[in-house]
Amino acid sequence: MNISGSQKIKAPRPEVFSALLNPEILQESIPGCESAELVDMAGGQQMKLKISPNIPGLKGPYNV
Protein backbone atom coordinates (compact mmCIF):
# COMPACT_ATOMS: atom_id res chain seq x y z
CA MET A 1 0.00 0.00 0.00
CA ASN A 2 1.39 3.41 -0.92
CA ILE A 3 -0.02 6.37 0.97
CA SER A 4 1.28 9.86 0.32
CA GLY A 5 0.33 13.47 0.69
CA SER A 6 1.08 16.55 2.72
CA GLN A 7 -0.68 18.90 5.08
CA LYS A 8 0.36 22.32 6.43
CA ILE A 9 -0.19 22.59 10.18
CA LYS A 10 -0.35 26.04 11.75
CA ALA A 11 1.46 25.26 15.00
CA PRO A 12 5.03 25.47 16.28
CA ARG A 13 7.22 22.51 15.22
CA PRO A 14 7.94 21.35 18.80
CA GLU A 15 4.19 21.21 19.50
CA VAL A 16 3.52 19.18 16.34
CA PHE A 17 6.41 16.78 17.05
CA SER A 18 5.16 16.28 20.61
CA ALA A 19 1.67 15.48 19.28
CA LEU A 20 3.11 12.89 16.86
CA LEU A 21 4.64 11.07 19.83
CA ASN A 22 1.42 11.14 21.88
CA PRO A 23 -0.57 7.87 21.51
CA GLU A 24 -3.87 9.49 22.56
CA ILE A 25 -3.60 12.27 19.97
CA LEU A 26 -2.60 9.82 17.22
CA GLN A 27 -5.50 7.50 18.02
CA GLU A 28 -7.96 10.41 17.81
CA SER A 29 -6.52 11.74 14.55
CA ILE A 30 -6.03 8.53 12.50
CA PRO A 31 -9.28 7.26 10.94
CA GLY A 32 -9.95 3.65 11.95
CA CYS A 33 -7.30 3.64 14.69
CA GLU A 34 -8.63 1.46 17.51
CA SER A 35 -5.59 1.72 19.78
CA ALA A 36 -2.19 3.35 20.01
CA GLU A 37 0.47 2.67 22.61
CA LEU A 38 4.17 3.14 23.22
CA VAL A 39 6.01 -0.18 23.58
CA ASP A 40 9.47 -0.53 25.12
CA MET A 41 11.82 -2.41 22.81
CA ALA A 42 15.51 -3.32 23.05
CA GLY A 43 16.46 -0.38 20.80
CA GLY A 44 14.06 2.12 22.40
CA GLN A 45 10.35 2.81 22.27
CA GLN A 46 8.08 2.10 19.32
CA MET A 47 4.50 3.13 18.64
CA LYS A 48 2.08 0.20 18.23
CA LEU A 49 -1.14 1.02 16.32
CA LYS A 50 -4.18 -1.16 15.67
CA ILE A 51 -6.06 0.10 12.63
CA SER A 52 -9.27 -1.18 11.06
CA PRO A 53 -9.55 0.70 7.77
CA ASN A 54 -12.98 1.27 6.28
CA ILE A 55 -11.96 0.55 2.69
CA PRO A 56 -14.04 -1.73 0.43
CA GLY A 57 -12.18 -4.99 -0.20
CA LEU A 58 -9.81 -4.41 2.72
CA LYS A 59 -11.22 -6.12 5.80
CA GLY A 60 -9.98 -6.87 9.29
CA PRO A 61 -7.73 -5.16 11.80
CA TYR A 62 -4.10 -4.41 11.02
CA ASN A 63 -1.24 -3.92 13.47
CA VAL A 64 1.17 -1.26 12.29
State if pTM tops 0.85.
no
Instruction: Render 1-64 in DSSP notation, one character per residue.
Output: ----------S-HHHHHHHHT-HHHHHHHSTTEEEEEEEEETTEEEEEEEE---BTTB-S-EE-
Mean local confidence (pLDDT), 23-36? 90
pLDDT of residue 14: 96
Task: Out of 10-19, 30-39, 45-54, give the one with best mean pLDDT.
Answer: 10-19
